Amino acid sequence: MEVGTVHGRPRRTIALGDATILPGLIDLHVHVPGDRLSARGGLMTVRDVGIAEAELRAPFEPPGRPRTFEAGPLLTVQRGYVSSASIGLVVASPATARAAVRRLVHEGAAAIKVALEDGSAGGTFLSMLTLAELRTIVGEAHRDGRIVTAHALEQTGVDRALAGRVDELAHMPCSHVSARSVRTLAQRRIPVVATLHVADAVHAADPSFACPDGLANARLFVAAGGRLLYGTDMGSNAGIPLNVDVDELALMRRAGLTPVEVLRAATSQAAVELGRPRLGRLAPGSPADVWAVRGDATKSLRLLAHPVLAIVRGVLVRQP
């Protein structure tokens, strides 16, 4: 592999042997900014979809670490999901919802996230945004060139998301959702960020949590032609590594994607979802986010747990 050129000749050559060279991976669902992560493992772009408003920043690129896009707090309602947490921002009407979107965009939000959870997966009852509030949020976000991603784990939330015309689901619903709703997501080309591993991780830490249908929903979604994207929910739950989650990639494979499709879901397709199509590609004009693993990663995604080279925005941060 050639690193840099001088008068058309390589400044340095690194012999990798039998290896797979990849563009930097993109995690579309984290709760930790890139300046607290390392790019040495191949993860080079993250989207933080749950951060306190006081900490919200415009997209940034910390030296030698993953670039970060942030959505800020989740828009919710009184007695709704995360309404009492720092990552929740309560709205009470379409007017306050519109004002909240404008404020978050002004403060640097790269996307808008909404809470559409009724609590049935945990055996509780939670209030949700009304359809009028949700449609106002979507309309205002679109006027500002932002997408709306929805936290919706159950049937009621998915139905509200579909009625409100959100752009993306931030999780594959992990409780039972009707086949009709899943197929509608696919037919409308609404992508879903997988986060399949986190349900298992939460259940391992708290056996009372039961949300077992994520993989079945994902299989139906993929079979219907839906676009499943890579995201892990790292930073908010134990058991999810602060880098590339090969267990998540393996679950996406079990959902029906080929190994190449899994890699695209974590690179070029994730970049399109961010609105930055030059990311996640090895092509002229794209950022020099490059990493490598020994062997053929299209035959074993588990190889991605052992990188031998990492270059983030042209800076070598791991070498053999």
- Give a yes or no: residue 307 inside a domain: no
- Three-class SS state of 320: coil
The pLDDT of residue 238: 84
Asked, for residue 13, whether it belongs to a domain, the answer is: no
pLDDT value, residue 2: 58
- One-letter amino acid at 184 equals T
Band (pLDDT 50/70/90 cuts) for residue 91 is: very high
Residue 133 lies in a domain: yes
Average pLDDT over residues 184-205: 92
Contacts of 40 (CB under 8 A, 6+ apart): 307, 310, 317, 318
Would you say residue 316 lies in a domain?
no
Q: Is 87 exposed, middle or buried (0-12, 13-18, 19+ CB in 10 A)?
A: buried
Output the domain CATH number for residue 74: 3.20.20.140
Q: How many separate domains does the chain show?
A: 1
Domain boundaries, position 87:
25-277
DSSP code at position 14: -
Dihedral sign of CA atoms 222, 227, 230, 233 in order:
negative
Which residue in this structure is represented by tokens 């984290």?
30
So what's the pLDDT on residue 1?
Answer: 62
Identify whether 286 is part of a domain. Answer: no
In the predicted model, what is the mean pLDDT of residues 191-214?
86
Q: Which of 121-130, 181-190, 223-232, 296-305 has the least mean pLDDT?
A: 121-130
pLDDT level of residue 43 (50, 70, 90 thresholds)? very high
> What's the pTM?
0.95
Mean pLDDT of 219-244: 95
Reduce the DSSP state of residue 160 to 3 states and report it: helix
pLDDT at residue 7 tops 60: no
10 assigned to some structural domain? no
Task: Compute the mean pLDDT over every residue in the chain, rounded to the nearest whole number.
Answer: 94
Q: Which of the four pLDDT bands, split at 50, 70 and 90, describes residue 187?
A: very high
Q: In the predicted model, is pLDDT for residue 60 greater than 50?
A: yes
Annotate 214-245 with DSSP letters as a single string: HHHHHHHHHHTT--EE----BTSSTTS-SS--
What's the pLDDT tens digit per position in 122-181?
677 899 999 999 999 999 999 999 999 999 999 999 999 999 999 999 999 999 999 999
Residue 236 lies inside a defined structural domain of this protein:
yes
Determine, yes or no, domain membership for 16: no
Average pLDDT of span 266-286: 97
Show Cβ contacts of residue 178 under 8 Å, excluding neighbours closer than 6 positions: 155
Place 6 in a pLDDT band, splitting at 50, 70 and 90.
very low
CA distances to 122, 175, 236 from 207, in Å: 11, 15, 17
Of the ranges 3-12, 25-34, 169-178, 302-311, which one carries the lowest mean pLDDT score?
Answer: 3-12
Whether 295 shows a pLDDT value over 90: the answer reads: yes
What CA–CA distance (Å, rounded) separates 235 from 11? 38
pLDDT band at 207 (very low <50, low <70, confident <90, very high): confident
Q: Give CA–CA dist 72/75, Å, rounded.
A: 9
pLDDT of residue 130: 98
Nearest in space to 182 (alpha carbons), one of 210, 151, 161, 211: 161
Give me the pLDDT at residue 86, please.
Answer: 96
pLDDT at 237: 84
Using the predicted structure, report yes or no on whether residue 11 has a pLDDT greater than 90.
no
Helix (H, G, I), strand (E, B) or coil at 211: coil
**Among candidates 177, 116, 107, which has minimal Cα distance to 148?**
116
